[in-house]
Each structure stands twice: as C-alpha cells, then as structure tokens.
Structure 1
Amino acid sequence: MPYKFKSRATADLIMLDATARRLLEIVGKDTEGPGIITAEQIPGALAALEQAVRAEEARRAEAQQDEDEQDHGDATAKGEGVSLRQRTAPFVDMLKRSAAEGRDVTW
C-alpha cells in the first residue's frame, strides 16, 4: 500500500510502501499507521537523510572501486539501480519547503 505524505506547504507526495518505510526508518519514525514530522523535527530528519545518502554513496563508490580492481563485472551492469539520493529527492524537497513555511508533514 502506498504512503501519502501531506503538507500545507506542498502538494501531496505518494510513495511506494518499501521506499516510504525505508525513509521513515531513517528519520526515526514509526512505519505503522499515520504519523507526523513536525516543523521542529524537520532539520533533524533532513540531517538523517543526508547522512544515509552519504553513507550509501560511499558504499557504492567502494563497491565500484572493488569491482574495477577485480575487473570481473559486466560493463553494462555497473551503476544499475536507483540510488537513495534519487529516492529521497521528492521527500527532501517536501521537507525543505515545509520547514521554510513552518508546516508539519503527515502521512
């Protein structure tokens, strides 16, 4: 079941279940039932998301370097998959815009 994030500062954001759950876990929110990220909590949520994105990018870079050193991978398979940065972009935008207007984000 998809999640529907709402804020009075932005349009609604609909996100698939697995992605939404992962993002909510990163920001330390319960994934069961409705919830809220208050305007006061948004800076912490943004920091947690950015830290998770940087950690994933570091893991990907390390894996790519290991693969390049071993030279066993298929050249067309390198870099496949949607990164966490790409998945978080709409949510991060919603959080930033909501913070700018002092609005909460609910789901």
Structure 2
Amino acid sequence: MPYKFKSRATADLIMLDANARTLLEIMGKSPDDAQGIITVAQIPAAIAALEAAAAEEAARRNGQSNAQPEGDEQDEDADPVSHDSVALAKRIVPLVDMLRRSAAEGKDVTW
C-alpha cells in the first residue's frame, strides 16, 4: 500500500510502502498506523532524525567502499549496501522539503 503524505502547504507526496515505513520509523512514528500526523512542533525533530540517519548511512557506505583493499575484486552480492540502491540522503529529499515548507507555513503533515 503506498503512503500519501499531505500538507496544506505543499502538494501531496506519494511514497512506496517500504520506503515510507522506513522514514516513519526514523522519525519515531508508527508505520502500522493507517493514519498519522507530524505536527508543526514535531517537524524540526523529524527533519533532524532523517538527516542524521542519512548521514549515518552515508558514513557506512563510505566506510565500506574505503575498506576494500586495492586490487581485490569484491563480490557484488556480498555487499549489504548496494552501490546501485538509492541512498537515504536522496530518498528523504522530497519529504524533508515537504516538512520544511509545512513548518514555514505552520501546517501539519498527515498520512
């Protein structure tokens, strides 16, 4: 089931189930709730949590790519973080934009 994030400050944001559930968990929200709200007061903490998780993932990705000695071929299936996957830092951009614009206009975000 896709999630639809809504705010009176922005257009709707539709996200696939797995991606939305991950982001909701990062923000401390229950993805099991069919409906929920991120209040204006909760938005700064939600943005900080998303950005911290993205920075952590980026550090983990960089650490894995730097840990491989030169000349050794790495098995692509052995890497738990695929270099072809979309980084969390890119995946959070539309939601963080929605949260920032909603906070600026004093509007809650619901799903």
TM-score > 0.5, shorter chain as reference: yes
Identity of aligned residues (%): 61
Q: Letter of the aligned partner of 2:12 in structure 1? A: D
Q: C-alpha distance in 1, partners of 2:24/2:71?
A: 36
Tell me if 1:38 matches 2:42: no
- Aligned pairs for 1:1-80 (under 5 A) are 1-32=1-32, 33-69=34-70, 71-73=72-74, 79-80=83-84
Q: Per-residue deviation at 1:80?
A: 1.8
Give the aligned partner of residue 104 of structure 2: 100
Give 1:87's aligned amino acid: R
**One-letter amino acid of the structure 1 residue matched with residue 55 of structure 2:** R
Shift of 1:67: 2.4
In the TM superposition, residue 99 of structure 1 has moved relative to its aligned partner by 0.5
TM-fit CA distance, 1:88: 0.5
Q: Deviations over 1:21-43 (max 9, x none)?
A: 00000000011210000000000
Large movers: runs of 4+ above 4 Å: none
TM-score (normalizing by structure 2): 0.88
The gaps in structure 1 that reach 5 residues or longer are: none
| Map of 1:87 onto structure 2 | 91
Deviation at 1:74, TM superposition (A): 6.9
Post-superposition CA distance 1:37-88 (Å, at most 9, x none)? 000000000000010000000000000001254632379x983210001111
Give TM-score scaled by structure 1 length.
Answer: 0.91
In structure 1, what is the Cα distance between the partners aligned to 2:86 and 2:69?
A: 20
